[in-house]
Structure 1
Amino acid sequence: MSSPARFDRGHTDDLMTFLTASPSPYHAVANAAERLEKAGFRQLSESDAWDSGTGGRFVLRGGALIAWYVPEGAAAHTPFRIIGAHTDSPNLRVKPVPDTGSQGWRQVAVEIYGGTLLNTWLDRDLGLAGRLSLRDGTDRLVNIDRPLLRVPQLAVHLDRSVNTDGLKLDKQRHMQPIWGLGEAREGDLIAFLEEEEGLPQGSVAGWDLMVHSIEPPAYLGRDRELLAGPRMDNLVSVHAGVAALAAVSASGKLDHIPVLAAFDHEENGSQSDTGADGPLLGNVLERSVFSRGGTYEDKARAFAGTICLSSDTGHAVHPNYAERHDPSHHPRANGGPILKVNVNQRYATDGSGRAVFAAACERAGVPWQTFVSNNSMPCGTTIGPITAARHGIQTVDIGVAILSMHSARELCGSDDPFLLANALLSFLEG
């Protein structure tokens, strides 16, 4: 029996706001935390002792957030239901010595982060965002959301074969954005950011900065049935997870503990203190058990009954490249969330996980689809297999089908974000 949908097109409208306000992982977790606080959650410090009380809590570390809700009557061995996602997206990130230039052009030195589609960053108006670390030990989020940088493409007159032989980009020589004229001056970029933020000169000691397209998300198509925007991989899942966790925390009695785990660094392998291959999630779950008086035995029992939905984007069938997809698995925009399967464990889904996901979608009245890669092409991966292997937790890989994955601007069906949110809420409700 399906239940009434909680989320509708207004969820997609709100997603557009979230995408615009989250040009970096640090902004994404700050915005997620603000929404959770409005839902009654409170932030815990990892360096403080944790109490055994009920209610919603979260911890922040860099570009990662772990949030959970302890219902009334939860025992130490109560299992968890986890939504896993990631906050980072492929892009261009500022180097430690950022000020460079050539031939009278002032440029910013960048390093390629993740498996980005390089050509999608060409000839775009770009802003700059991220985190400034100050000499007083605090951090400051910064977002220059106006035309500041541009990676100019070589004119066709100087590359006559570009439309026949294809565009060839060298990551070091061709991807450094320009931001002015004149000679490069050491310290110029950081001094500019200090001025923009009203900080004293010389107060910035470190930075984690990245460029972003300033073009806002937009509905697309004759009937506005498509959504174009940046960082859908994977802020669509982060946003839906926040909405689902906030909703389930107000829904009444639960026989499990719902969790949102939004990690950083998925796009480059998850091996960091804020990535899925780090200890953050395990530490939080263990401390939740132990703070409620639990033992190692209680933790083992809780983990044995835990299940995780690893929610990330997947590939919608491409109308111009249908032969690149498996012939019997063609996920479509607005067809509902996808179940991602790979028998070589690039995705963690198995048959029992499929049953859990199918039941959640059925209860929510949400249609769903299946994605499997073409056998002739290597399959991508997610935090799913990492979560399953690191914590011994049953994990199912799901997500939203999109086009232009890892582009500076991606595309999905405008219904799919709220269909995903409804499926996630149903899963957390159990």
Structure 2
Amino acid sequence: MTVLSNRVLEMEESVTLAAGARAKALKAEGRDILSLTLGEPDFVTPKNIQDKAIEAITNGSASFYTVASGLPELKAAINTYMENFYGYSVAPNQVVAATGAKFILYAFFASVINPGDEVIIPTPYWVSYADQIKMNEGVPVFVKATEENHFKVTAQQLEEARTDKTKVVLLNSPSNPTGMIYEAEELEAIGNWAVEHDILILADDIYGRLVYNGAKFTPISSLSESIRKQTIVVNGVAKAYAMTGWRVGFAVGNPEIIGAMSKIIGQTTSNLTTVAQYAAIEAFTGPQDTVETMRQAFEERLNTIYPLLNEVPGFEVVKPQGAFYLFPNVTKAMEMKGYTDVTAFTTAILEEVGVALVTGAGFGAPENVRLSYATDLDTLKEAVRRLHVFMEK
């Protein structure tokens, strides 16, 4: 008897979590490892947010269940966030909160996908999209975003991929792993295409506050009423507020879909941890200066490390506009070192010079590697120095 389900047997392990775990294991053995794997700010959660969480614990508010979709006060805070950064309001029945944006994505797919439904995913893509779709018996359809077009797809490419089974198109801007941002005109063309063909837009906006060097993040849901009605926005506190460990994600959009997601949450995790909800309320409604402080730090790291990485033999990098990743093409580097597989290449870098990167294979980009610059400049500079050493051996 086969004990495990086909669903699990067919599922890929998250390459980002696997790379992070391998780096931690080697560190535990006493190895000198510089890990640039996980998308996690190296800042601690701002004190005003910590204080609100502590207050909720001490006054007893955090001790009890809430409704599965989130506290009314949290939904009101998310509405404030939407008004401030998206330019429009949302009603309580258009908002759901859950244990991280990752689970919000899963709840969305579980709510809208029937067996055989197709979801268009531009590549490179965040590692969990495809497997979450497969777990819900959907079919991921990949459309390649080329480096020549700054890792962005066009409405024409999406049209070429569309079939009568296409139900969702997924957009992640700024992108993980490329850091590229869609311009308003590009989004408008994609949004109007989706409206014309009655295709849902899943907008993963988790990095929307982290943009650099004058770049602008445009939410696709803000472009028109018709596009907004077609769009489910996914966001959270993890990246902009340095709250990865709090696991707070949310979605806003069509009340019917939001209601279905709430039902999924009610039968799986139940409510998001109550104390984290009170922390998120403060994040969304409290002072926003710490977000800008972190954004400026990431911008400085990007501008410092990007030219240095471009000098590593065989590494070719398109400068990102947002998020906190660099995604160099290492085709020439692999040729120089005699590798044909990017995962083997990243493993060799880890074992030989102690720099942990993430293979691009899990992002649908077997010519690339991903490194996070969400760590201090000294670590980043030393990591690049070691990459030079590796390539020049």
Shorter-chain TM range is: under 0.3
TM-score (norm 1): 0.23
**Which has the larger share of strand?**
1
Bigger Cα Rg: 1
TM-score (norm 2): 0.24
**Which has the larger share of helix?**
2
